[in-house]
Amino acid sequence: MRTALLLTLLLAFVAPRSALAVDAPPTVAALLEQGREALERKAYSQAEQLFRKALEQAPADPILHNEVGVALFQQGAYAAAQPEFEKATGGDPNFAHAWANLAETLRRLRQFRQAAVAYSRFLGLEKGDRYGLFGLGLAFEGYEAYDKALQTLGIASRAAQGDSKLLARINGALRRIREIAAGGKQSPVARGDAHLAAGRLVDAMAAYERGLREKPDDGVLIARRGLVMAIRGDFAAALVELRKGVLLAPEEPVGRGALAMVEAEFPSQAPVAAGEPLELVLTDRAALAKKELSQAEGPALVALRGEATLRLGLVAAAKGDLEAAKDERIATAALAEVLDLEGDATGAKAQRARAKSPVGAADLPVWRRSLLRK
């Protein structure tokens, strides 16, 4: 009977029957056969139970560990499958298909560098395997080694001639990576947006997160992170991120638009963390935030107090705090708004240049303009 398949990248990486010890107890062999039959029927949980029962009699058998990993993988339990495949490769370093299974599991877990190593081990044992080359190329793509990815997928494409389904997947990956590589000098926002437009939410979030590691107070990136959260359905967290992003980058239209839509649909989703002034400001509890910040010192907290005061419509008091906060990002942008709305066009223009913000009074969110024009 044909052995069961682990569907990784459309490749069946199957443990060869001949690799099982010839003197294995019949009960182990029978359980192995029954488990593989269960896999073929897609009864994955049943297969797992049968393989684990066999492991009770042969706890070190690499094939049985591989089959348990297969059953777990097919149930989507990648984290649980990983150690089973590691035991299989540890028990038999020449167990090629266990290396392939481990590699694909690591790729699903987004451990791309480790996946590339495991795929390389597989290809060292199964040279030129087209599915292994495809997987290795995707692993390279995962950690943005795009030149290696393109080179590897090119080799995979030549090896896949005659396999129309795999060739279509390889060509799709090549097009995608070429587009990404062509935009390699793009900003994190642009790169994340490209992923977002293609529906790759995990990749989009990763691009925004990488940008935030370099610029943790970038309002545009923070708002984009909130947008991804909203698409995923985590509206409470999305509202907090979107409000924070719009506060830091009020001129950015995507963040403002996303915030307006999420607030309209889910107005009560964002929790308020008591005693945290930033959260209080972001959730429009400005009076309480101002009270908590009344004795605040240091540019960041003074800037936040200025923002809270501004939201209360106390323009003169807010201006004093914003000027005292100097180069804090919240302060520089908000002060430009105050000057513009006070009618000091020259001062506002200079402040906008200092804040690196092109926004003028006409571009401010409506709630901001109405709040300050009393």
Topology (CATH) of 184-271:
1.25.40
Q: What pLDDT score does 355 carry?
A: 63
The tally of CA atoms less than 13 A away on the side-chain side of residue 19 is: 19
The ranges assigned to domains in the chain are 7-182, 184-271, 285-374
Residues whose CB is less than 8 angstroms from the CB of residue 80 and which lie 6 or more positions away in sequence, other chains included: 72
Helix and strand tally (H, E) in the chain? Answer: 21, 2
Asked if the domains 7-182 and 184-271 are classified in one and the same CATH topology, the answer is yes
12: which DSSP letter?
A: E
Q: Using one digit for the tens of pLDDT, what is the confidence trace for 11-67?
A: 335 455 544 444 545 589 999 999 999 999 988 889 999 999 999 999 999 999 999
Q: How confident is the model at residue 267 (pLDDT cuts 50, 70, 90)?
A: low
Q: How confident is the model at residue 318 (pLDDT cuts 50, 70, 90)?
A: confident
Average pLDDT over residues 63-81: 92
Q: Could you give the percent of the chain with pLDDT greater than 90?
A: 35
Q: Choose between 118 and 323: higher pLDDT.
A: 118
Q: Using one digit for the tens of pLDDT, what is the confidence trace for 210-259?
A: 888 888 888 899 999 999 888 877 777 888 888 888 888 877 888 888 88
Residue closest to 273 by CA, chosen among 287, 289, 262, 261:
289
Average pLDDT over residues 270-296: 61
Task: Identify the residue whose tokens are 């996303």.
Answer: 258
Q: How confident is the model at residue 273 (pLDDT cuts 50, 70, 90)?
A: very low
Lowest mean pLDDT of 38-52, 109-123, 142-156, 309-323, name the range: 309-323
201 vs 147: CA distance, rounded Å: 23
Q: What pLDDT score does 59 carry?
A: 93
pLDDT mean across residues, the chain? 79
Contact between 211 and 231 (Cβ < 8 Å): no
Tokens read off for 340: 């513009």
Q: What pLDDT score does 217 carry?
A: 83
Chain-centroid distance, C-alpha 366 = 33
Residues whose CB is less than 8 angstroms from the CB of residue 15 and which lie 6 or more positions away in sequence, other chains included: 3, 63, 66, 67, 95, 97, 98
Contact between 180 and 192 (Cβ < 8 Å): no
48 vs 38: CA distance, rounded Å: 9
Residues whose CB is less than 8 angstroms from the CB of residue 59 and which lie 6 or more positions away in sequence, other chains included: none
33 vs 247: CA distance, rounded Å: 62
74 vs 31: CA distance, rounded Å: 19
Q: What pLDDT score does 64 carry?
A: 95
Which of 140-154, 190-204, 356-370 has the largest mean confidence?
A: 140-154
Phi first, then psi: give them for residue 11, nearest 5 degrees.
Answer: -105, 135
Residues 120/125/126/130 CA torsion (nearest 10 deg): 0
CA distances from 249 to 76, 159, 218, 356 (A): 40, 49, 8, 11
Q: How confident is the model at residue 197 (pLDDT cuts 50, 70, 90)?
A: confident
121 vs 127: CA distance, rounded Å: 10
Topology (CATH) of 7-182:
1.25.40
Phi first, then psi: give them for residue 277, nearest 5 degrees.
Answer: -55, -40
239 vs 90: CA distance, rounded Å: 47
Contact between 58 and 25 (Cβ < 8 Å): yes
Contact between 64 and 92 (Cβ < 8 Å): no
